[in-house]
A and B are shown apart, each in its own frame.
Chain A
């Protein structure tokens, strides 16, 4: 039991769209704030499903997801592989999508929004590129723009789906640095992660899942050989 978890999940089961098969099964978790939380597990373990359920894109079959503070808002950073990067749009326009939720359908963008977008683009080192078309950017730069879009949402909870895949080491370091600062300011930061080499370096806390939760604990306690074996090499029913 955590002292003050920001998300409490109880007996959560979520299926894929064809409904017969469960992607995650009876998952119970408490996720701390102010820490960098990594979600680890093999392909098909239900990592993306779990965070899609938290953000509300997928409806649970059963179980509860409780965001402890009702006023908390969530920013979600999808996998960048699903995006058509030849889309005719500028870096600035992508970042400004972060204002949509507060603006609604009919709200118009003003100078303050643009100033904010520039500020957050500067934070990820992309302000010099703000009028560029996104197809001109490298994979790492594209990911930074997505981070700026999430920052512009000014949320309390950040959910990132594999933000480091196809991203250079320099950008990885920059993103981790930003996320660490957010965490130390009390935000909840949850990252679906693939690369086991960097787990100790990046995360304070890890959740290891393979359809069910293997462990959820501080990295030093949880990320040990026994749990890695259980998560990656044992068949789970």
Chain B
């Protein structure tokens, strides 16, 4: 049972991240998730200090607010301050992460903030952290109650605004010229990215979240001819990585998050080398044939 739950949680996170990740990768904003996953630390600490509890709900609220603030600030520095995208991401997230560390060491010495837990998460702990009603009814892991609604919101958003998102992502200047409020959609997307990052963070850790946002979409882009195919393929890749990665981690008795990332990376490598159209070997063959014919 706990195996299935663990795979379910990892897959749900994978699906949410990879759907949003397709838009981030295509807009060259992939590292924003890396920034958000670090910059949320002060949010988590402040939420803890204000609520005096480690309740998931307050953590996600505090972290989500900071995540959204991070993406807003990154965008603002680029637009108004004329700072390059990668530099503004670097400035904002290192600063917030450092502020978070100082807050932790100053005010929260009594709670243990395990560094390994932040980086790799703790899937097993998350499956055991269940929601018990006062009469003892077990409603399952608390994380599921956050992940499922979040995924539904993401799917609804992407399905309803599919064409709008497609136009903005492909050609933002054209989108502006036909009156699409591109800033509004940008912030809606980054808000979803923030909340997905912080909700997933506790379960699978910073590295797997960032990997889920970037690797399955990048793999899918090598194969897809249409945006909708890219989204569906990246969902499939993230589920396959969760399944295989989890079982391999059981066999080798190692970190499941780590193994899932390794499998996702190997899938990328496989597709990169063997893709029928854009693959490395086929490209070599094609350019060889072109040299011969000319």
Measured CB to CB, the residues of A under 8 A from B are 17-18, 55-57, 74-76, 78, 82-84, 86-90, 93-94, 97, 100-101, 103, 105-106, 133, 149, 153
Closest to A73 in B: B178
Given A76-B177, A78-B177, residue A88 in contact with residue B227 (CB < 8 A): yes
CB–CB B82/A97 < 8 A: no
Cβ-defined contact, A87 with B26, below 8 A: yes
From known contacts A17-B82, A97-B167, infer whether A57 and B177 are also in contact, taking CB-CB under 8 Å.
yes
B127 interface residue, CB < 8 Å from A?
Answer: no
Partner of A89, one of B80, B82, B161, B227: B227
* Closest 6 pairs between A and B when the two form their complex, measured CB to CB: A76-B177, A78-B173, A88-B224, A101-B178, A133-B225, A57-B176
For the residues of B in contact with A, the DSSP-based class is: helix
19 A-B residue pairings within 8 Å (CB atoms): A17-B79, A17-B82, A56-B179, A57-B177, A74-B177, A76-B173, A76-B174, A78-B174, A78-B177, A82-B173, A88-B225, A88-B227, A88-B229, A89-B226, A90-B226, A93-B166, A93-B226, A100-B163, A149-B174
- Whether B1 is near chain A, meaning CB under 8 Å from some CB there, is no
Separation of A100 and B161 alpha carbons in the complex (Å): 12
Closest CB-CB distance, B83 to chain A, in whole Å?
11
Give the shortest distance, in Å, between A67 (CB) and chain B (any CB).
Answer: 14
- Across the two chains, which residue of chain B brings its CB closest to A96? B163
Point out the residues of chain B lying under 8 angstroms from A149, CB to CB: 174
Residues on B close to A: CB < 8 A?
A: 26, 28, 79-80, 82, 160-161, 163-164, 166-167, 169-171, 173-174, 176-180, 221, 224-227, 229-230
Q: A104's closest neighbor in chain B, by CB?
A: B164
A96 to B103, CA, bound (A): 52
Q: Which residue of B lies closest to A86 (CB)?
A: B221
Q: Are B82 and A83 in contact (CB under 8 A)?
A: no
- Docked Cα-Cα span, A100 to B166, in Å, equals 11
Chain A positions within 8 Å of B80 at CB level: 17-18
> Contact at B225–A56, with CB atoms within 8 Å?
no
Min distance, Cβ A94 to any Cβ of chain B, angstroms: 7
Contacting pair B225 A90 (CB below 8 A): yes
Please give the distance in Å from A116's CB to the nearest CB on chain B: 16
CA distance A211 to B224 in the complex (A): 44
For the complex, give the distance between the alpha carbons of A78 and B171 in Å.
9
Q: Taking the nearest CB of chain A, how far is it from the CB of B183, in angstroms?
A: 12
Report whether B177 and A89 are in contact in the complex, using a CB–CB cutoff of 8 Å. no
Which residues on the A side are within 8 Å of B167 (C-beta)? 97, 100
A75 to B174, CA, bound (A): 9
Q: Is the CB of B26 within 8 A of A56?
A: no
The answer to whether B178 and A100 have CB atoms under 8 Å apart is yes
Name the residue in A86, A89, A90, A149 with the highest tally of chain B Cβ atoms < 10 Å from its Cβ.
Answer: A89
> Of B28, B163, B171, which contacts A83 at CB under 8 A?
B171
Q: Which of chain A's residues have a CB closer than 8 A to the CB of B174?
A: 76, 78, 97, 149
Complex Cα gap A100–B221 (Å): 25
A47, chain B: closest CB distance, angstroms: 15
Partner of B170, one of A94, A101, A103, A105: A94
Known: A17-B80, A55-B177, A57-B176. A89 touches B166 (CB 8 A): yes
